[in-house]
Amino acid sequence: MKAAMFYGREDLRIEDVPEPVVGPGRIKIRNGYVGICGGDVHTYFHPEASPVDLFRPHPVTGAQLPQPMGHEFSGTVVEVGEGVTGVEVGERGAVFPTAYSCGTCTACRHGRPTSCRLMAGLGANANGGGMAEFVSIDARQFHRLPEDVDLARGALVEPMSVAWHGAGRSRSGPGDVVLVAGAGPVGIGAWYAFRARGVAHILVSEPNGERRGKLAALGAHVIDPVTEDLGAAVASLTGGDGVDVFYDAAGVGAALRTGLAHLAPGGRVILQSGHEKPFEIQPNEIMMGEYELLGSLGYRPEEFDGVIGRMSAGEYDTTGWVEEMALDDAVEAIHRLRAGTGTKILLRVG
């Protein structure tokens, strides 16, 4: 089968590799589409900074480089292993990429499997990934898509679930005002997720004109923090009180500092985006404002289903911000996203 195999820094090769074997309790998927995550872009250029060790075998899965990249993907069941019930050949679904968590550590016991120190994910430190024609997964990782959700949108379930989880961590609801930094895929997903929670006033700050225009075309209230007065916009929305939630989907220290400056007392900060570089903040600001600084990582299986349900209900319009390229163009797509051209790129696999 054809696969985009990641070997190390700036080394992604389109190769022919053996198809996966399906064991008991597992199913084989013919992948349809795979999205390129910002994390994939960071890993391609800086694999040594990956939150998981890619260069040594995982202690449980045994996976190590080279591996197919890609953890945002969908596909069609082509084979069902022994003992699998409730999944049939021909069904289409989104793939939950967390392949292993121990179930016994403190993170797992507290319902946070993505924080498990032994966590293994497809496209990283578990065997297989979305940038391959086929993958073998545990049947529990398969989330069925209804007829009105196609495979292309199915590949967006994973990144939209990231934002869905973050919005849930914010405890936001009707009456709140939210400031989102970044109009990339997760920022767009956050806009949809906060709307689903009944938040009527959402301001998205984005310096990239292309991304800003795409989100504005969907109906969002967007602002350029470089040429426009963000403080005045926040004051206008809140009567000078400040926002209740600041959602970091930018991964830039300056954006986080700006968000803190516009929080209302008791406001919450959701750290959703990875930061390549450390930066300084003034802890006294957090203390004096009684702010809450909340990390948000990944999602839960029920959140996948929540996003799929909203997609089926007609949410998540992909017009203008999602484009397709061929699997053979994976390296070009990564470089485009690194350069800031394009918002969400799905690679056609099947």
For residues 219, 39, 157 and 115, what is the CA-based torsion angle, rounded to 10 degrees?
A: -120
Comma-separated ranges of CATH 3.90.180.10 domains in the chain: 2-156+318-348
d(CA 313, CA 317): 11
Residue 276 predicted with pLDDT over 80 = no
Q: Output the pLDDT for position 350.
A: 81
Chain segment 73-104, per-residue pLDDT in tens: 999 999 999 999 999 999 999 999 999 999 99
Comma-separated ranges of CATH 3.40.50.720 domains in the chain: 163-295
Mean pLDDT for 219-234 is 96
Chain segment 304-342, per-residue pLDDT in tens: 999 999 999 999 999 999 999 999 999 999 999 999 888
Asked if 318 contacts 156 with a C-beta cutoff of 8 angstroms, the reply is yes
If we measure between CA atoms, which residue out of 97, 83, 100 comes closest to residue 29? 97
Mean pLDDT for 143-156 is 97
Q: Output the pLDDT for position 56.
A: 92
Asked if 264 contacts 130 with a C-beta cutoff of 8 angstroms, the reply is no
The whole-angstrom distance between residue 215's C-alpha and the CA centroid of its chain comes to: 17
Q: Output the pLDDT for position 288.
A: 92
* DSSP annotation string for 152-174: HHHTTHHHHHHHHHHHHHTT--T
Per-residue buried b or exposed e for 295-324, using 16+ beta carbons within 10 Å of the residue's own CB? ebbbbbeebbbbbbebbeeeebebeebbee
Mean pLDDT for 282-304 is 92
Asked if 79 contacts 22 with a C-beta cutoff of 8 angstroms, the reply is yes
d(CA 248, CA 209): 18
Mean pLDDT for 261-286 is 89
pLDDT band at 206 (very low <50, low <70, confident <90, very high): very high
Mean pLDDT for 19-26 is 96
Chain segment 173-205, per-residue pLDDT in tens: 999 999 999 999 999 999 999 999 999 999 999
- CATH architecture for the domain at 2-156+318-348: Alpha-Beta Complex (3.90)
Pairing of strands 344-348, 322-326: parallel
Q: Output the pLDDT for position 249.
A: 93
Residue 13 predicted with pLDDT over 90 = yes
Question: Homologous superfamily of 163-295 in CATH?
Answer: NAD(P)-binding Rossmann-like Domain (3.40.50.720)
Q: Output the pLDDT for position 281.
A: 85
